[in-house]
Structure 1
């Protein structure tokens, strides 16, 4: 069964899926949601009518509604494929939503592995064989290399590659081609008119059908039925269509080449190349992939991913429900660029000056204690050697743009009596406007030398 990924919520809360949802969306487009799979893991909810649901919750309800409508009843085992590049957060978000809707036993299978599993059922692969998967779906493109390790066991040979590009983008190219052909009448349409909205929805479906026909025909005529527009058909040729989508197709081929290099598998070592997804049937895709790999390729049969998922569900036990719990509410936020971060004031000079001042004060105090003890004790005499102490004082910078800085203070020269030669300490000229000096310590047996020092260019 091929069912469009579309859901519609009626005013009474009933969920419709597939073609039924498409038909109801023509008259009430505010209650429909499409392509919600790509939003799984995004905490921002989707607005569907009067409800706000996350994409994983919509996916769970879609699957539940689809299973309940099967002719043979709900199956005992269910497998659901997903892009191979999904991480732990997105998978756990989906598991939690499935469990909340009574689908805890659903088996999640990476799409490339499901495709290769189905291909192995049709043409048995040897152990160790590598298969490249080119998956051009409706909204995304995925490329991966899958290797067969043993019977019914397939693993990714390297990290998968993906693009936010798919068949819907090609549909939009055809739609814009029609819009350009209808100008200026197109610009005169009323976007709030329900009849116009319904006609535009029909036109979009006609553009999708025309894209699919171009896979077999060389040109198509796209029917147009819009209020107030006399044009009834717009022509589009295959050559013109391929010229419009060629840059996007070349990007997918380059992504496939990156996946092969990441897996360490050259094209000539591949046992098969599988082109899956509806848009992989475009002739330009087959030509570009064949030219890149140097070998003939062709699209795989329809439903390969679904067949492989069914084989996985039949042969493997479903994963336990205990892991169906979301681990986080959202991915971590990226760090702000350095240019946007607030600048921090550097305090290192001030902290260093404070530490030096404390050390000097401790040295003076210890010297005083030793001197006093020498005068009181008659049996032990301690003579402190002459000490030269320099105190570095922090400066407070005051900057006034309209004033010129005063001339720097003259250098000080102080001599120490115990030494035969005077000791000279010179203060470097400072560019600061003013300096604040602390009160010198009281005199003691050691006469300290105090000189004011400032750091030029202090902030």
Structure 2
């Protein structure tokens, strides 16, 4: 069913963007400088924070000033359940995230009055985000008055935004067959997805990722190097060395800009003249000159690890680099010259594409999916391996990943209960490549030998609103149900 208007949201670690598609025109809601909104909150004594560009600009001025508190990279902490105190008032991470969703909604309404209010949207998530993280994002969006239609993987949304931005190309794409690799390295995550475009369908073939090594991680590496150099040059021992939290935030802010500049320049400098560090009554300024070559030595091992993930994705998909038609570089970290050089060496210069709208393409892809109301479908059947090594299909290929379509209850019987457990071996049918084990669930049963039809396991399988496969299983031991979530499902869309 085609909607009159489709909204998409890319809630990012570093930047966040909303977009809208009406079937003809695709619009990203960016700031007046045509840049995405920084995912930064600035509390300055009032309950309502300042969000976005204005907040980020003020970190250097007020980062170490009493009465000011800055929140950054909240997406990377969204899974945390503990409270954070702001001027004596407790907040959860999802509440901080909600302020970003609220800001995106209000900014779109204020600066684009011709569009209706953003009441619902397709929201993108990294590949590794589990049920707890997705629930927190859904809660944050709903608190801002935005219903989440569904979640879509960020690199997959990027491909949709790249391919379907021009509605006149849809008919052409129905006849197209291509292998596309998306390399999405942002502030919080590295996600690598192999996508196949095949005669009216687009689907994920293989997913790889680094949940912890990303732009923020590189900022921390560079900041540590800057501090180490500062200590050596000034004869300051690392033992007991501690920066004030505000000064550390200011330095991290300056390091981030230095890292970004090193993608365009050979050398950059960081200067914090006043009150960077003091000890025994002596105050030390910071001046650091950083070369691109030096930065590349710091991150080289991580770049090589990222390229190894690319190799793994190709290997598991049984594809050669020569079989990839396009490589899309998404995210700020993918702009690092050393990384781009490695990608071009692997795939060839003409195949590696730096998308001009890389900052907004993920949100735009989500808006397109929302407009056409394309539901995610399962790419490969989910099965249970039986005791004779045959396989029972739980959800077949092309099952729509929504609760009303993907739920099933099954009764199994344990053929050998001597160890007091029944084992549900959950597999993914990869066709000619055979079945790949995804998870093994151990369900408590009685270890008393009776007969094969006594020790049974009742299992319920369902895909919830967060596109998570939830499994609950109960054996013959009362009160000992087992629960499992599978969030790394490969999915696709039919657009023909």
Superposition deviation, residue 248 in structure 1: 0.8
2:354 aligned partner: 299
Q: Find out whether 1:72 has 2:112 as its counterpart.
A: yes
User: Does residue 36 in structure 1 map to residue 74 in structure 2?
Assistant: yes
Tell me, yes or no, if the aligned pair for 1:7 and 1:17 is still in contact at 8 Å.
yes
CA distance in 2, matches of 1:263, 1:92: 31
Query: In structure 1, the residue corresponding to 2:194 is in which secondary structure?
Result: strand
Partner of 1:394: none
Partner SS state of residue 169, structure 1: helix
Match of 1:54 in 2: 92
For residue 133 of structure 1, what is the aligned residue in structure 2?
A: 182
Give deviations 1:282-333, integer Å, cap 9, x for gaps. Answer: 11001222334456524322322122222223322799xx97xxxxxxxxxx
Distance 1:10 1:213, change over 3 A: closer
User: Partners in 2 of 1:87 and 1:150 — Cα distance?
Assistant: 31
Task: Quote the residue 2:368 is aligned against.
Answer: 311
How many angstroms does 1:201 deviate by? Answer: 3.8
Please give the alpha-carbon distance, in whole angstroms, between the structure 2 residues aligned to 1:59 and 1:150.
Answer: 39
Describe the shift of the 1:131–1:226 C-alpha distance in structure 2 as closer, same or farther (beyond 3 A).
Answer: same
Q: Is residue 191–residue 207 contact of structure 2 (8 Å, CA) maintained in 1?
A: no
**Superposed displacement of residue 95, structure 1:** 2.4
Which secondary structure state, in structure 2, belongs to the residue aligned with residue 183 of structure 1? helix
Query: What corresponds to 2:254 in structure 1?
Result: 206
| Higher RCO, Cα 8 Å, sep 6+ | 2
Cross-structure match for 1:168: 216
Asked whether 1:287 is paired with 2:341, we answer: yes
**Aligned position for 2:383:** none
Select the structure of larger CA radius of gyration.
1
The equivalent residue for 2:265 is 217
Range with greater deviation from structure 2 (26-35 or 77-86): 26-35
Q: 1:262 aligned to 303, 306, 316, which one? A: 316
Counterpart position of 2:154: 111
Aligned pair count reads: 318
Shift of 1:40: 2.9
Q: Distance in 2 between matches of 1:55 and 1:199?
A: 23
Task: Specify the SS of the correspondent of 1:21.
Answer: helix
Distance 1:28-1:137 versus aligned 2 partners, 3 A rule? farther
Cα 1:29–1:282 shift into 2, 3 Å: farther
| Residues 279, 192 of structure 1: alpha-carbon distance in 2 compared, 3 angstrom cutoff | closer
Aligned ranges 1:397-416 → 2 under 5 Å: none
> Helix, strand or coil: the match of 2:90?
strand
Report the CA distance between 1:31 and its aligned residue.
Answer: 3.6
The CA RMSD measured in Å over matched residues stands at: 3.4
The residue matched to 1:80 in structure 2 has which SS?
strand
Which residue matches 1:90?
Answer: 133
Cα separation, partners in 2 of 1:164 and 1:63, compared to 1, 3 Å: same
SS at match of 2:288: strand
Work out the CA distance in 1 between the residues paired with 2:241 and 2:107: 36
Distance 1:121 1:318, change over 3 A: closer
Offset from partner CA, 1:346-372 (integer Å, 9 cap, x none): xxxxxxxxxxxxxxxxxxxxxxxxxxx
Deviations 1:200-242 (A, max 9, x none): 5443333222222221222223223133656664222111111
Q: Does the aligned pair in 2 maintain the 1:77–1:105 contact within 8 Å?
A: yes
Seen in structure 2, the aligned counterparts of structure 1 residues 66 and 117 have a Cα distance that, compared at 3 Å, is same
Counterpart-to-counterpart distance in 2, 1:199 and 1:265 = 48
- Given that 1:159 and 1:262 are in contact with CA atoms closer than 8 Å, whether structure 2 keeps it comes out as no
Q: Distance in 2 between matches of 1:150 and 1:47?
A: 53
Distance 2:217 2:302 in 1: 9
Q: Is 1:144 aligned to residue 193 of structure 2?
A: yes
Task: For 1:238 and 1:171, locate their aligned partners in 2 and report how far apart those are by CA, in whole Å.
Answer: 14
* Match for residue 3 of structure 1 among 23, 28, 37: 37
The change in CA–CA distance for 1:279 and 1:202 in structure 2 (over 3 A counts) is same
Contact 1:220 1:237 in 2 (8 A): yes
Relative distance call for 1:317 and 1:298 in structure 2 (3 A) is closer
Q: Secondary structure at 1:225's aligned position in 2?
A: strand
For residues 87-122 of structure 1, give each alpha carbon's deviation from its aligned partner in whole angstroms, at most 9, with x where no partner exists.
344323432443344322454321111111122136
SS at match of 2:229: helix
SS in 2 for 1:157: strand
CA distance in 1, matches of 2:245, 2:84: 21
Q: Counterparts of 2:176 and 2:131 in 1: how far apart (Å)?
A: 29
Bigger fraction of residues in strand: 2
Q: 1:55 & 1:130 partners in 2: Cα distance? A: 38
Q: Tell me the distance in 1 between the aligned counterparts of 2:49 and 2:307.
A: 39
CA–CA separation in structure 2 for the residues paired with 1:7 and 1:186 = 36
Alignment check: 8 A CA contact 1:144 1:260 kept: no
TM-score normalised by the chain length of structure 2: 0.56
Residues 113 and 154 in structure 1, CA contact (< 8 A), matched pair in contact too: no
Q: Which has the higher helix share?
A: 1
Structure 2: which 5+ runs fail to align?
Answer: 1-29, 31-35, 276-281, 377-401, 404-496
